[in-house]
Chains A and B, each alone.
Chain A
């Protein structure tokens, strides 16, 4: 088998457990001719000493491993035919070459070593929690269900060992619409402004569709920056405050009458409307004086109370464009007229996009009117970092029970308005809120002429 193409001479494996061999003698020199099967070199292994026959006929063009060298089975020892080797890098065996190039060596070694396959990690528990039983321990299936449904396991009552949440517990929780045992946390936020009331997000959908995908009948629209901002604010507010809402029904008879009286005068003399909102604002600001926590803020470890009220009024921007809450500074110093003016002023600025950042910052209490569309109740979201928000609703004629001086009851038709106070239960308690609303009602129901 004379050949011009190169044929490798390799170290054979002389026995199953043999991993290396030593060249004891080359029987030919580089450049010499040799026939196939003719003994070419002698080797020694720990099993046997033997001759290695040439794998081909031709010229021994390269000797790569010298006598006395020990190399691994399969190592190229030399070459028959082909091009004569460049002055062979002294023993082609790795040891010396790499000794000269200390730096690249690790790289070469890394290339040669089979890249350790990235071990496919077992799917980690979605919510790694401290070990041990007890409420802190979340089992893999509970973690998975929790993450699929956006539920916080710590909110779920646990019946398992040590009070841990079991699969049954969390499934029951999810099926129950997430009605939590957690105290007073309403599940459904509404926008804090006369924006169209968003429907309360239902208990999360069982099998979430992947982002970007739609089911038949669905269509996608991208989220605007404003929407994103609102979403963020709402979420953050609900996550921060312990929202609770109390409501009270107010008889607006006096206000209605007073307003009738004042309308013409205000228009002609001052160019403003004495809106119901203005009356409410006036009564509210007065009441806030007696209930500072409703006009307060949690700052770190402290509660901040004030001797001023920067009253925010929620304003809906042009249909669907969102809402904004400009602020009337130092409302505590304003009377009905001043508040009516203030409200008209910021409303106009808002509509005409003339609000500046100062206009919307620094509020300490907010009034919102979701009732513009006839709704009689709601649970607005507190505007952080405030501690409460007042919601006003549609003024509706209702049959109402009145008692005369003799103690006789009769039904009369009254203009009624439901008013809500949504407060942060971290610093405002239910009784406190209740008393605030009672006082507010008294002021509104007992409105006397111009002032109170």
Chain B
């Protein structure tokens, strides 16, 4: 029996305006989703061409959830996005060429070759780099919210986690601390229904992950993760609520993971019908249709956006290829921080 509220879809353009986005913004959202998918598709190809070492993860099918939440964040808000949330990095302004460089382990990736995949973040853009352990970043995001609370700053921390990670103790502890202290925190659950090969019924025994929010003393809401506008609206509500002292919210974005856990996984355990059904609800296609229907998106605009994204990615690839390999002699540097490292916006 569900406890969490189910979010309404967003209908008209005027509803959207109420939620805070104008037409310009919408085209920007659309573009960001295209870039997100484009980066991951190109990365997937590079990986199969042997140009990217290690493993390769995508968030195919999660573009709306990621871009939707990120669009609702304020410039001084911070977040801990995960490997399905490339859209957050793109929306916050990370340049694609640096993402390609990170994939390839080059010096110009935010991790400078020291970590791979999307274990990267640009601190200047208010993000903190994820680790493999999940949901290990949630306590950290809650800590950021704690800092905002202590300093009485009107900023919000957003922490992402998957439905599988919700099983682990870190999630419980984070929500306990955030809930008991009414911290300015938004928990975003990317529920893409499979944690590697494990389906949801083995990860939580409630109907929704968001049902648990009540147990921690705050609201939980489930939203269609393929509907970027619905996601945006819920995220905006939750973020502003947190900003004004209303405490945390847990937003569960429901999608289907459209590719394997990593690209070396062919996801044979996902019933074919599920793929077919959710393919009909492709987030980018959905939004493109909505824009055509509700915001008079023209062919020309569409083509322009597509072309500019294609060009962006092409030049990004070329630039990334030129980024140097890291120098092994620098390996030992930076194990410890120096006082100079504290020269960040947050330490001022």
Residues of chain A at the chain B interface (Cβ within 8 Å) = 9-16, 18, 37, 45, 47-55, 73-74
**Min C-beta distance of A46 to chain B, whole Å:** 10
* 25 intermolecular pairs with C-beta atoms under 8 Å apart: A9-B49, A10-B49, A11-B50, A12-B47, A12-B49, A12-B50, A13-B50, A13-B53, A13-B54, A14-B48, A14-B263, A14-B264, A15-B262, A16-B54, A18-B264, A37-B45, A45-B264, A47-B264, A48-B260, A48-B265, A48-B266, A49-B266, A53-B45, A53-B49, A54-B49
**Min C-beta distance of A23 to chain B, whole Å:** 13
For the complex of A and B, list the 7 residue pairs with the smallest distance between their C-beta atoms, beginning with the closest: A15-B264, A12-B50, A10-B50, A47-B264, A14-B264, A55-B49, A48-B266
Which residues, 29 to 77 on B, are CB-close (under 8 Å) to A?
A: 45, 47-51, 53-55
**Min C-beta distance of A115 to chain B, whole Å:** 17
Find out whether the CB atom of A51 lies under 8 angstroms from the CB atom of B54: no
Residues of A within 8 A of B54 (CB): 13, 16
Pick from B49, B50, B51, B55: contact of A15, CB under 8 Å: B55
Closest to A76 in B: B50
Find out whether the CB atom of B55 lies under 8 angstroms from the CB atom of A16: yes
Residues of B within 8 A of A9 (CB): 49
Task: Report how far A74 CA is from B53 CA in the complex, Å.
Answer: 10
Residues of A within 8 A of B264 (CB): 14-15, 18, 45, 47-48
Which residues, 259 to 290 on B, are CB-close (under 8 Å) to A?
A: 260, 262-266
Interface footprint category on B: 10 to 19
Closest to A18 in B: B264
Closest to B41 in A: A37
Residue picked from B47, B50, B260, B262, most chain A C-beta under 10 Å: B50
Residues of B within 8 A of A50 (CB): 48, 263, 266
Residue picked from B53, B54, B264, B266, most chain A C-beta under 10 Å: B264
Closest to A39 in B: B48
**Min C-beta distance of A135 to chain B, whole Å:** 46
Closest to B260 in A: A48
Residues of A within 8 A of B48 (CB): 12, 14, 50-53
Residue picked from A14, A73, A74, most chain B C-beta under 10 Å: A14
**Min C-beta distance of A117 to chain B, whole Å:** 14
Residues of A within 8 A of B262 (CB): 15
**Min C-beta distance of B322 to chain A, whole Å:** 14
Closest to A16 in B: B55
Residues of B within 8 A of A15 (CB): 55, 262, 264-265
Which residues, 180 to 224 on B, are CB-close (under 8 Å) to A?
A: none
**Min C-beta distance of A19 to chain B, whole Å:** 12
Chain B 308-338 against A: per-residue CB contact (8 Å), 1 yes, 0 no? 0000000000000000000000000000000
Closest to A52 in B: B48
Closest to B317 in A: A1
**Min C-beta distance of A294 to chain B, whole Å:** 73
**Min C-beta distance of B278 to chain A, whole Å:** 21
Which residues, 121 to 160 on B, are CB-close (under 8 Å) to A?
A: none
Task: Report how far A174 CA is from B260 CA in the complex, Å.
Answer: 76
Task: Report how far A381 CA is from B53 CA in the complex, Å.
Answer: 78
**Min C-beta distance of A348 to chain B, whole Å:** 76
Closest to A40 in B: B49
Residues of A within 8 A of B265 (CB): 15, 47-48
Residue picked from A13, A52, A53, A55, most chain B C-beta under 10 Å: A13
- Given A45-B264, A53-B49, 6 more A-B residue pairs with CB atoms under 8 Å apart are A11-B50, A12-B47, A12-B50, A18-B264, A48-B266, A53-B48
Closest to B262 in A: A15
Residues of B within 8 A of A45 (CB): 264
Task: Report how far A300 CA is from B55 CA in the complex, Å.
Answer: 79
Residues of A within 8 A of B55 (CB): 15-16
